[in-house]
Each structure stands twice: as structure tokens, then as C-alpha cells.
Homo-oligomer: A and B are copies of this chain.
Amino acid sequence: MPKKIRLGILGGGGDSLIGIVHRIASFMNDNYSIVGGVFNPDPAISIEFAKEIDIPTNRIYATVEELVAKENALPGEERMQVISVLTPNFLHFPMAKALLEGGFNVICEKPMTTTYEEAKILADLQQKSGAVFALTHTYTGYPMVRQMREMIRAGAIGAVHKVDAQYYQGWINPLIHDEKSRKATWRLDPAKSGISCCIGDIGVHAFNLLEYTCGLEVRELLSDFNFLYDDNVMDVDGTVLVRMDKHVKGVIRASQIATAEENNISIAVYGRKGGLKWEQENPNYLYLLEEGKPLQVLKPGHAYNSDMAKDATKLPPGHPEGIFDAMANIYLGVAKAIRGEKIHQGEYPTVRDGVRGMNFIEATVESNQKGNVWVTLNHD
């Protein structure tokens, strides 16, 4: 087995939840060593954090620019091989850009950028450099999501003709109904949060799962947002009618006012021969519906799964793996790609997923603003 990959991290210090998720994901398959980064804009805090997580402090930098310069000055066999970008959303673009321009591989948290235009810039840079660029649409890392994709590709349900994806949460409910709270929340402030709240934060995950599992792209959409209050300009709920390749129709439903829902993502895809359904809160079940046959429930760790699903499981059947494991599977795909090993198509989400996501978000905003009309997505 090759030596561990040298990983740098931007952001994710202190008690950052996303920092924990990425560190665990990097450890899980023994593929990465964290060698440095910029954990905090304040170098002293950054160094303190490096000590806490027990890594050397000599490669803790003050800025991404310093990181790029100094790492590039190191010999190739010492240089960071990939850098994870876990900073606040508005910094994803400039940091990822600097890294790509500096010749580095990148793992970027979602959202990749704040605009579609920025996303296309990153895509261009990635294409020029040929760097590995992974966008952490974590849910694509679940083994049964991968199995769903592979079964659809293999024709298990025939030609797809109907899709339905849901992402329901309720967390914004207590904030939105209180005037002070809804004005104070950064999530509902477009200056801080971008042009969309609900679709931008979670609807895009449902969109991504749909394209990921079906292997089809959304061509047109019509969206209807709910703002609940006149003094609120950010969507807290949105339903999106979609038309995909090959005349497939469907709907994407997202909400942050589905009161007391936790993280209720589900996706259903129906084809001529059968249907497949998956739910994130019970991620280890994949439901296969076939006419005239018993309902089948597929689970991880079995030989009947596709290679990509099997590679995404570490233990025998019956030992539940969860969200950290999903993220770890994306890191595993990146590690393989960096080492030049053979990877499965779809083993990690790419810069193109980011471009499509930003296109989707902007199109839903446009459709809703224009009075719920059809808007066409590009095919970048």
C-alpha cells in the first residue's frame, strides 16, 4: 500500500463541526496525513489548534497565498498533495481558485462558489490544470446511493420516466416566525448567505442526488418559493418542477419549515421496469420495487451490490455505517484519483457538479422571480 497522502486544511479549526467531519473522513481509510494548513485567520489560534490535534506546527500558514507559495517551494515528495477548503462559504471560491492556480488538488466544501459565473471559472481552471477537484456532496458517498446509481446505469429499472426528490428540514421554523430572529439570522441575509437560502443550502443536494443517481441532467425547471413573511427576501421553502433529459419529468421539494423534520432527504426514481427509493435517515436500505415481485430491500456489505457500493463499505452486513463513512468514501475516491489508481465513475463529486448546482440555484431564483415560469439550464 502506498504511503499516506499529505493533506492540508483551510478552516475547520476549533469546534467546527465540518472540521471534525473532514478530519474523521480523512482518517477513516488510513489514506491521509494532515500536514498543515490555515485553520484560522489568526495564525496564533491556528498554531494552537495544530497542537491540539497533534500535528506539526511548521506548516501552519497565515493565508492561502502563503500556503501556495511555501508549499510550492518544498520538494515534491514533501509538498501537500491536496487541500480541503472548509472556510465560510464566500471564501470557497477565492481559496479554491488560488489553490487551482497554484497547481494543487482540492477538496471543496459545498457550496462551491456563490455564483454560477464563479463556478465556471473554477471549472475552467480545473480543466486546464487537470487537478483532482472534489466537491463534498456528502450524500453521494453512501453505499446505497452509489448502488442506486449503478443499478440505474445497469438498466435495473429500465428507462427512467419519473423522479421525485425531497429535502425537508424544520430548523428555520422557530426563527422565521419571530420578527427579530428572522432579521438577525445570517442565513436569511443575502449579503452573507447568497441569493437563496433553502434551495441554495439543501435543495441543491436533492438536485445533485437526482442527477447523480439517474445519470440524467435537468434541462428546464419551474420553481415556487415560499418566503412566509413580506419582510423576508430569502426562500425558506421551495418546490421545483423539473424536466430532465429524455423527457423525464419530476419534482424537487425542499423546505426548512417542515417543522421538526431533522434531515429528511428522500429520493425516488421510477423507470419502465421498476423503481428505486432511498432515505437518508435510514441510509443503509435501498428499496427496489418491481411489478409483480415482492419489495426488495438491499443493504450494504453484500456480494449482490455493485463494485462501487461494495468499495464504500468497511464492515460485514448488519453493522450500521453513517454520515462520516459517506464522507470518508469521497475522500477514498480522491485518494485513489491522486494516486492515479482506477476509480469508479462517480466515486467523488466533481467541479462539474458544482457548476450544475450553481446553475440550478440561479435558475430557481429566476423562475420564481419571474412568476413561476420555465427556465432553461445550460449544458456546460
- The tally of residues in A whose CB lies under 8 Å from a CB in B reads 88
- A250's nearest neighbour on chain B, judged by CB, is B239
* Contact (Cβ within 8 A) A259 B291: yes
A377 within 8 A of B: no
A341 within 8 A of B: no
A317 within 8 A of B: yes
- Within 8 Å CB of A257, what residues of B? 161-162, 270
* Contact (Cβ within 8 A) B374 A263: no
- Within 8 Å CB of A162, what residues of B? 226, 237, 255, 257-259
Within 8 A of B (CB), among A276-305: 280-284, 288-299, 301-304
Within 8 A of B (CB), among A289-333: 289-299, 301-304, 314-325
Within 8 A of B (CB), among A1-40: 1, 3-4, 17, 20-21, 23-24, 27-28, 30, 33
* Contact (Cβ within 8 A) B282 A292: no
* Contact (Cβ within 8 A) A174 B291: yes
The listed residue (B52, B258, B271, B281) touching A1 by CB distance below 8 A is B52
Assembled-state Cα–Cα distance A322/B298 (Å): 18
A136 within 8 A of B: no
* Contact (Cβ within 8 A) B315 A17: yes
Assembled-state Cα–Cα distance A247/B236 (Å): 14
A368 to chain B, nearest CB (A): 11
Assembled-state Cα–Cα distance A321/B322 (Å): 5
* Contact (Cβ within 8 A) B318 A169: yes
- A23's nearest neighbour on chain B, judged by CB, is B30
A69 within 8 A of B: no
Assembled-state Cα–Cα distance A126/B344 (Å): 50
* Contact (Cβ within 8 A) B318 A281: yes
Within 8 A of B (CB), among A103-154: none
A322 to chain B, nearest CB (A): 4
Indicate whether A321 sits within 8 Å of B323 (C-beta atoms), given known contacts A27-B27, A261-B289.
yes
- A371's nearest neighbour on chain B, judged by CB, is B374
The listed residue (B294, B302, B315) touching A304 by CB distance below 8 A is B294
* Contact (Cβ within 8 A) B260 A319: no
Assembled-state Cα–Cα distance A262/B172 (Å): 34
The listed residue (B295, B317, B323) touching A297 by CB distance below 8 A is B295
A376 within 8 A of B: no
- Within 8 Å CB of A292, what residues of B? 302-304
A173 to chain B, nearest CB (A): 7
Assembled-state Cα–Cα distance A159/B294 (Å): 22
* Contact (Cβ within 8 A) B222 A372: yes
- Within 8 Å CB of A290, what residues of B? 259-260
Assembled-state Cα–Cα distance A374/B222 (Å): 12
- Within 8 Å CB of A298, what residues of B? 294
A347 within 8 A of B: no
A194 within 8 A of B: no
Indicate whether A318 sits within 8 Å of B241 (C-beta atoms), given known contacts A24-B28, A291-B174.
no
Contact string, A223-236, partner B, CB cutoff 8 A, digits 1/0? 01010100000000
* Contact (Cβ within 8 A) A268 B274: no
Known: A17-B315, A228-B247. 14 other contacts (CB 8 A): A3-B54, A4-B53, A17-B316, A24-B27, A161-B257, A222-B224, A239-B241, A259-B271, A259-B275, A260-B275, A263-B319, A288-B294, A320-B323, A321-B322
A–B complex contacts, Cβ < 8 Å, 11 sampled: A3-B51, A4-B53, A17-B315, A30-B52, A170-B275, A173-B291, A255-B270, A259-B273, A263-B317, A283-B320, A319-B322
